Chain A
């Protein structure tokens, strides 16, 4: 067995902490972990929230803290959300995208730019013959769509990106 460095160990733990509203999609794979700083037995995790109005943030903070403090060498863990860094849907990892599809949620398009047409493939049959039913879905980060090929309703992550500076 390969001996992990402590910071790698923390990241491995973060890959097991799910977003409370997205089963089997970890906060790490959603791109919410900005940095991990170790100071002896104390771990500081800086995270970036997906949507500001997300009511799950307090639960995420609690779950991350609890999971990391479970590591035998960790005395304490501090989790903080920072708005200094921007979360965008481009931060979702490849594994995150796979896991989202398993939940019937299409990942956001790669390298989307504001104003571009946005097509979403069905997470079940991969068809692009889909229609947007509602930009707004059950949580702030999701939209509701329908696949006209396999006749399944599904969801998609809204593309969220940093807008280019307008003059």
Chain B
């Protein structure tokens, strides 16, 4: 076990340690941020009123988790947290391309032709991954990350339970529901691949005991999702949409940034 690094100042003393840490934190922050944005677009459109309350509560809380990661990056000298969330270009973001994908056609204001099966599958796969990563982060060599991971795990329990329930219910539901979930899972197995990776600094992230190695992460994630899936997957997802961990993105991310920065851009100095 590596030495425990207690403060951002201490982390900054070793350039390669800091670089690996920052890379990992961007992945945590950007994933939480973009999935919250896609979740926020469902507000008022979820299948029923109780789900609207639940999904928006989860989304707001997840956005709070993204904020915590952006603040950790700010403390490491990456710049203002608001800027990190709103001011970075698509190529600077490290979120998984699959998480950036639009909810469906149309916009949340007009002709929102969103697909609930995509929302359920995407959130279930992501929250399962987030749990595996956070559990590993409670043994990180960076102490502030340990504290944040413990905090988030206490809350995220409810998020994961929610999406597990949806998957279980729909898999045991009508033929139509089963077919829709199954098709979205097939699609995810073509596209979710970058989410379960740790990017170009994966070796350093492991070497410095910031998190577990990528192979262990993938293995644990697959075991956890298979506990719930009606049809078990033996192989790991591919990266058909690209690899967000190396800065790849597509038009869906640009669409998201354009919308979520619309207010921010009107006055970047404003305090909210």
**What is the interface of chain A, defined by CB distance below 8 A to chain B?**
51-55, 83-84, 86, 88, 114, 133-140, 144, 158, 160-163, 166
Any chain A CB within 8 A of the CB of B177? no
Q: How far is the CB of A68 from chain B (nearest CB, A)?
A: 22
Return chain A residues, CB-CB under 8 Å to B148: 83
Q: Map CB proximity to A onto B46-82 as digits: 1 under 8 Å, 0 otherwise.
A: 0000100110011011111101100000000000000
Any chain A CB within 8 A of the CB of B4? no
A114 to B65, CA, bound (A): 21
Most buried by B among A53, A83, A135: A53
* Choice from B58, B150, B154 contacting A136 with Cβ under 8 Å: B58
Interface pairs A-B: 4 shortest CB-CB: A53-B64, A53-B61, A136-B54, A136-B57
Return chain A residues, CB-CB under 8 Å to B147: 83-84
A53 to B65, CA, bound (A): 6
A50 to B135, CA, bound (A): 20
Judge whether B151 and A140 touch: CB under 8 Å: no
Any chain A CB within 8 A of the CB of B162? yes
Interface residue count on the B side (C-beta < 8 Å): 27
A52-B150 contact given A134-B53, A135-B162, A136-B54, CB 8 Å threshold: no
A128 to B53, CA, bound (A): 24
Return chain A residues, CB-CB under 8 Å to B58: 136
A-B contact pairs, 27 of them (CB 8 A): A52-B68, A52-B151, A52-B152, A53-B63, A53-B64, A53-B155, A54-B64, A83-B68, A84-B147, A88-B154, A133-B50, A134-B54, A135-B54, A135-B161, A136-B53, A136-B54, A136-B57, A136-B58, A137-B53, A137-B57, A140-B61, A140-B155, A160-B155, A161-B154, A162-B150, A163-B154, A163-B157
Return chain A residues, CB-CB under 8 Å to B157: 114, 163
13 further A-B pairs in the complex, CB-CB below 8 A; given A52-B152, A53-B61, A135-B161: A52-B65, A52-B67, A53-B60, A53-B65, A83-B144, A83-B147, A86-B151, A86-B154, A136-B162, A137-B53, A137-B57, A160-B154, A163-B154
Chain B residues touching A, majority SS: helix
Return chain B residues, CB-CB under 8 Å to A166: 135
Q: How far is the CB of B169 from chain A (nearest CB, A)?
A: 14
Chain A residues touching B, majority SS: loop
Judge whether A162 and B158 touch: CB under 8 Å: no
Q: How far is the CB of B171 from chain A (nearest CB, A)?
A: 20
**What is the interface of chain B, defined by CB distance below 8 A to chain A?**
50, 53-54, 57-58, 60-65, 67-68, 135, 144, 147-148, 150-155, 157-158, 161-162
A9 to B232, CA, bound (A): 61
Return chain B residues, CB-CB under 8 Å to A139: 57
A83 to B138, CA, bound (A): 13
Q: How far is the CB of B10 from chain A (nearest CB, A)?
A: 15
Judge whether B155 and A86 touch: CB under 8 Å: no
Return chain A residues, CB-CB under 8 Å to B155: 51-53, 140, 160
Q: How far is the CB of B214 from chain A (nearest CB, A)?
A: 21
A16 to B179, CA, bound (A): 56
Closest to B68 in A: A52
Q: How far is the CB of B23 from chain A (nearest CB, A)?
A: 21
Return chain A residues, CB-CB under 8 Å to B68: 52, 83
Closest to A143 in B: B158
A3 to B64, CA, bound (A): 42
Return chain B residues, CB-CB under 8 Å to A83: 68, 144, 147-148, 151
A9 to B181, CA, bound (A): 59
Return chain B residues, CB-CB under 8 Å to A162: 150, 154
Closest to B62 in A: A53
Closest to A54 in B: B64
A137 to B68, CA, bound (A): 22
Return chain B residues, CB-CB under 8 Å to A144: 53
A102 to B151, CA, bound (A): 29
Judge whether B64 and A86 touch: CB under 8 Å: no
Judge whether B158 and A52 touch: CB under 8 Å: no
A138 to B56, CA, bound (A): 10
Return chain B residues, CB-CB under 8 Å to A51: 61, 64, 155
